[in-house]
Structure 1
């Protein structure tokens, strides 16, 4: 029996849990004020460490076998479970590849690893990149497509589906659509996500927050006319697009209620988003010549029967659809570490 301390630190909350194998024994979500999370990397690491120590002490937890931490913004890497090492933490301390709350999860994992003399790991971070040259290439030599997506949840639900049908994830061809504040659709070919949209600022369906793919000339004209900086553009595409742009809210429940109460613009927005998701799913299946083994729909928006049914109606000709709503990130992080502990896979090394 292995006890795993699992850490998933967000921008305004800290999710901490103790697992006994796959069973969650204790779990807490600690909310933080803006002031508490406004410090630099070093200050944030120290603050979040106090939160974790309080969790351990309040539940009389004195030992555990490993730490599972949410992976931060690192250099692109293949999917899998990675041992947290000094090279990884050095990159995160200077925010070499960007700043995000998940960086602190990894840094804390490294800190606890040394203090408790146990291994600490990250699992399928958002920078997982398994794209191939054909899917990465664009029509401009200066620009390549990049892989930024919900790797942890996409791979977790894909593995879960494979287990349900008593097959290996590495033996299946799947299309997985994660529907949340951002939307990503991945082509999972025998365990590798060979194609996926950049779910942060680049492409794909619009979502409650993201602008999604846009006509390049109109976007360029907007940037020039409004004299937007690079930061302005990133914010516009990742935080002020989608429902925020059209309705001033990220709350899909409100928009769905409006649609069901006869609001024509809200209905159109839901139909347009569903259409763009379905189109992305169909495009993702082209890698398999349209012969995917299964389509999986997951994420918070997958709880919406209205949205999901709109999507299924358009993609059911490709393959059967399995709906696995929500996100089980804590379970996915723990499962990745247990695969290493149980010698089902080898830990990877960040270099």
Structure 2
């Protein structure tokens, strides 16, 4: 039996879980209030806060780090981590993550806290445990033809919900008694951001960049924008560079159109007769369907299933609206929610069980 500790910090919470092989024995999510985060703004303070929360929880559950065989931690953007799979954290990865952000600076994106938390726990408990990262968001398996843009100054990048997208694809393949590497899927992850990818025999050979502005707009991201008007907007001297990036990444989509990024609130407005909210909602569904169609073409119209996942896949209204456009493309599978903890644990387990070789950069 292999016991794995999952560490998945978010902007306002720290999720963790303990798996024994494929079975989750305990899991928790510690919420961090705005006040607490404001009082602990530096990276080392955030690491200490989150580390102590996990260690206290483990003690309550009757576990210690001496019971753990491996860490499975959330990944971030790391040079060289371009292939899908499970990476063994070595000095190269350590040096890049720590080299990009000093512990005495304001804490970076929560995903970059995973490794410092794991290392801090190991030091506090005086244990030496391997650390694994599975399918980080920088996985770039785009086909050569998909990387080309309309100008050599720009190359299409792959930044998407790799961890959950690949996890649900593997899950559906297992249900059918197949390996992920034997299937062709289109996976639409719909959460705060939306990424729609073509999973071609184990590789995501086409997908929109859900961070930098690509694909369908989402609850708070703009997705693809008209290029020339965007350039004119950037040079209007009305907004700074940072303000424009925030508009694209954080203040676009439904939030910009409707003043809320809570899609449950949007659906309530539709139920109450708000036709503008209905138009924006249906437009988002339409844009997701267009991305699915693009991936369908990239797979030469050979698809085993179209899979919907992420938090918004719980919306029957949204799924129904998208299905109007893609019903004929193949099997439709709805796997709502996210399976990040499971995906991280199972990735580490495949290496521990010697079913896969770890990727070392």
TM-score by length of 1: 0.95
Q: Deviations for 1:288-334, whole angstroms, at most 9, x for unmatched residues? A: 21221111010100011111011112112211111101101111111
Matched residue, 1:59: 61
Could you tell which deviates more after superposition, 270-279 or 23-32?
23-32
Matched residue, 2:12: 12
Matched residue, 2:118: 109
Which structure 2 residues correspond to residues 279-290 of structure 1 after superposition, within 5 A? 279-290=290-301
C-alpha displacement of 1:266:
0.9
Pick closer, same or farther for the CA change 1:176–1:83 going to 2, 3 Å: same
C-alpha displacement of 1:91:
1.1
C-alpha separation between the residues in 1 aligned to 2:118 and 2:136?
A: 14
C-alpha displacement of 1:35:
4.6
C-alpha separation between the residues in 2 aligned to 1:124 and 1:77?
A: 9
Matched residue, 2:357: 346
- Residue 23 (structure 2) pairs with residue 23 (structure 1): yes
Q: Deviations for 1:107-157, whole angstroms, at most 9, x for unmatched residues? A: 323444564222111111111111122101111111111111000000000
Contact 1:201 1:210 in 2 (8 A): no
- Residue 78 (structure 2) pairs with residue 74 (structure 1): yes
Does the residue aligned with 1:129 lie in a helix, a strand or coil?
Answer: coil
Please tell me the root mean square deviation across aligned C-alpha atoms, in Å.
1.6
Which structure 2 residues correspond to residues 147-166 of structure 1 after superposition, within 5 A? 147-166=158-177
Matched residue, 1:45: 47
Matched residue, 2:289: 278
Matched residue, 1:316: 327
Pick closer, same or farther for the CA change 1:90–1:45 going to 2, 3 Å: farther
C-alpha separation between the residues in 1 aligned to 2:237 and 2:59?
A: 53
Contact 1:84 1:110 in 2 (8 A): no
Matched residue, 1:188: 199
Q: Deviations for 1:263-304, whole angstroms, at most 9, x for unmatched residues? A: 100111111011000000000111121221111010100011
C-alpha separation between the residues in 1 aligned to 2:61 and 2:281?
A: 45
Pick closer, same or farther for the CA change 1:92–1:40 going to 2, 3 Å: farther
C-alpha separation between the residues in 1 aligned to 2:302 and 2:282?
A: 25
Q: Deviations for 1:191-222, whole angstroms, at most 9, x for unmatched residues? A: 00111101012210011011111101111111
Q: Which runs of 5+ in 1 are unaligned?
A: none
Does the residue aligned with 1:210 lie in a helix, a strand or coil?
Answer: coil
